[in-house]
Amino acid sequence: MAGTEHPELGDREERWPVARSEDRHRDAWVVALREDWIRRPDHPDDEPFSRLVLEHPGAVVIVAVDEEERVFCLWQYRHPARRRFVELPAGLLDVDGEDPEATARRELVEEAGLEATDWAPIGTTYSSPGISAEIHHYFLARGLSVVDRGGFVAEHEEADMETGWVPAADLLAAVADGRVTDGHTVIALLMAQARGLLGV
């Protein structure tokens, strides 16, 4: 098949010139929407074109696995999709200066009432780079023990969450046949499986 050799396989940092930016929505909440007008590099005379950017601080997702090879799951309602999803413990990178693993440790306590002695990073992905720089860091946690949630009080959708343990093999089967469709849950589980970190 004709064609040139592909560039080096891997994402790379690149910044295109921004002619101007305007906020479309910004308040005290964690996300904001702005509009940027950008140009292609080395084309300074081209007319700038518009792109919407959803600002998001990023998040962590935790695959918490017990000694029976079961994964801790949440069943949570998500209003935009009008569905209750099977999910993994997760949380926003919304504390200044807190590194992703520290956020993951905090969120596992808050959402699951669990601590872990063994942590392994299993990957990082951009959720939807066509509209946002939102980034997710995935971790696998083992050596679990039940702890106090430290005064954390669940509100709104979180107050209605159901929780439970699911055998890893059953959870992966549900991903494969389309019963579990939350993107970050799917990515985290498949990454953990691909790295040989789930004993299934």
Catalytic residue numbers read 158
DSSP letter at 160 equals G
Q: How many CA atoms lie within 13 A of 115 on its CB side?
A: 7
Q: CB of 35 within 8 A of CB of 51?
A: yes
Please report which residue ranges of 44-182 form alpha helices under DSSP H: 100-112, 168-176
Smallest CA-to-CA distance from 116 within 96, 140, 135, 95 is with 140
Output DSSP code: residue 82. Answer: T
User: Do the beta carbons of residue 110 and residue 150 sit within 8 Å?
Assistant: yes
Question: Are the CB atoms for 92 and 180 separated by under 8 Å?
Answer: no
